[in-house]
Structure 1
Amino acid sequence: MTQASSLPTLTPQFCFSTTALRDFLRLSRSSVDDTITQNLNALATPARVGFDPTSTSRLSSRPASRQIDPQSCQTFKDKVLFPSWQTRSGVLSYCSLVATSPDPDDPEAELRQAENEKNRERVVNERLDPYSARFFPREARTEQLANIIRQEMGVESIVRARTWGIVKERCGDPSSGSWEDALARWRRLQMPTERVLGDRTD
């Protein structure tokens, strides 16, 4: 069975290294969500009839999907799917807090301040130079991080909705509600007394 994503060491440096942040999210999604059909196929009971070598020489229509044993499905959700979602929620929630916190270690703070000072001293005369009023201030890294977190939260919602639709179909549980409801139920069962990171993601 596929393993749940493990939580990386959460530090502001991890969040500001947007390549590391996005790589973690991409790898977690690719191992669980992007391959959800293969993961669920692996749970299906293998065929009792042995492999027929002649089957490779003819085209045959295969059923679109086989329903999976409910207990196997539940184990997959409890041990792999929901923990992976929770881990990603925790990472996004932590990094969103970093993005909204003061950043005294910003290496470009002095450079931005110098640019702003220089901009205040500029002479703006749009009759002589129509572009003289243009000034594009350099974004603080917290602002860049906040934009990335917003994008990744949007991606996360789309990915989870798609995954959950496939899980409901294959596991034969159409009445299980939305992925938000299912994840909230799992959180209550798994962590009843702990503060759950990631609520802001959902």
Structure 2
Amino acid sequence: MRYTKQTKAHPRHMSTDKITLRTPDVLLDPNLEFSTEEPPIRELVLTRKRCIDSSIVDSFLKLLRNGSDDILRQKLSSYSQAQDNGRANSSKKTSCEQYLKKELYPNWQTRDQIISFCEGQSEQLKHELDAGTSKSIRSNVIPEIDPRLDPYSARRIIYDREAAYKDWKRLNSWIENNKKVESILRNSSAKTLKQNCDQNADYMAQFFSFINKTT
């Protein structure tokens, strides 16, 4: 099961300079324990800069993953106990459906929005860099500079371009890494859901149906 970019679900995020995302109120159950060194980030204003310098985004994604896939069995148990203590099969099915719609699928969707937004910013950045390089070649943007007046100007222009391309490569690497993480987590969660809910259900297909209905 591979991570699939759902551009149809998030077209509005690809044309903006920033998006604001919040963690759901039900994300952190006070009865569940998490190992954390810092207070959780409950709201994220995502920009290109934060995609490139991703420490805050990484913390936000970690919070989302810790509160969903990483404690999936505990969450299912909690929902099951709320439905007649999980004694009836119908109650078990209902509790699974409630958890998927209220927590897990919205959580996955938010993570998709983050990755899709940063991927869109990566594509825009590459286009801007390529266009700028092409324009520079055609018009000789780098001027002839008297080294006695400013010996570092030409070198600084070249350095800035190289740094921008490094940012783009780092962002691409971050995107691919997080796609792999999502694929692994969702594959594992789908197996857990089959074991605890409905072994015949296609939970990824249900997720795609969910995001198409909510956008």
Q: TM-score range by the shorter chain?
A: 0.5 to 0.7
Match of 1:99 among 106, 117, 122: 122
Q: Give the 3 Å change call, closer, same or farther, for CA 6–90 of structure 1 in structure 2.
A: farther
Question: Structure 2 vs 1, CA of residues 44 and 100 (structure 1 numbering), >3 Å: closer, same or farther?
Answer: same
Rg larger in structure: 1
Q: CA deviation at 1:141?
A: 0.6
After superposition, the C-alpha distances for 1:135-168 in whole angstroms (9 at most, x for unaligned) are: xx76521110111110110110110110121122
Alignment TM-score, normalising by the size of structure 2: 0.59
The 5-angstrom pairing of residues 175-190 of structure 1 reads 175-177=200-202, 179-190=203-214
**Structure 2 equivalent of residue 146 of structure 1:** 172
- Is the CA contact 2:76–2:95 (under 8 Å) kept in the aligned structure 1? no
Structure 2 residue runs without a partner (length 5+): 1-24, 29-40, 130-154
Determine the structure 2 residue equivalent to 1:127: none
| Structure 2 CA distance for aligned equivalents of residues 115 and 27 of structure 1 | 34
One of 13, 27, 30 as aligned partner of 1:3: 27
Counterpart Cα distance in 2 of 1:80 and 1:95: 23
1:20 and 2:43 matched: no
Structure 2 vs 1, CA of residues 6 and 78 (structure 1 numbering), >3 Å: closer, same or farther?
A: farther
C-alpha distance in 2 between matches for 1:32 and 1:147 = 24
Q: Please, which runs of 5 or more residues in structure 1 have no aligned partner?
A: 50-65, 117-136, 192-202
Give me the whole-angstrom Cα distance separating, in 2, the residues matched to 1:114 and 1:161.
Answer: 42
Query: Structure 1's 174 and 184: CA in aligned 2 closer, same or farther, altered over 3 A?
Result: same
**Alpha-carbon distance in structure 2 between the residues aligned to 1:165 and 1:84:** 18
Runs of 4+ more than 3 Å apart: 4-7
Contact kept, 8 Å, 2:51 with 2:118, in 1: the verdict is: yes
> How far is the alpha carbon of 1:112 from its aligned partner?
7.4
Within 5 Å, give how 1:37-186 maps onto structure 2. 37-45=73-81, 69-102=92-125, 111=156, 113-114=158-159, 140-171=166-197, 173-177=198-202, 179-186=203-210
Decide whether aligned partners of structure 1 residues 71 and 29 sit closer, same or farther in structure 2, where only a CA change above 3 A counts: same
Which structure exhibits the higher relative contact order, with contacts defined as CA atoms closer than 8 Å and separated by 6 or more residues?
A: 1
Is this contact kept in 2: 1:99–1:146, CA < 8 A? yes
Q: Give the C-alpha shift of residue 7 in structure 1.
A: 6.5
Instruction: Return the offset for 1:33.
Output: 0.6
How many residues align? The count is 149
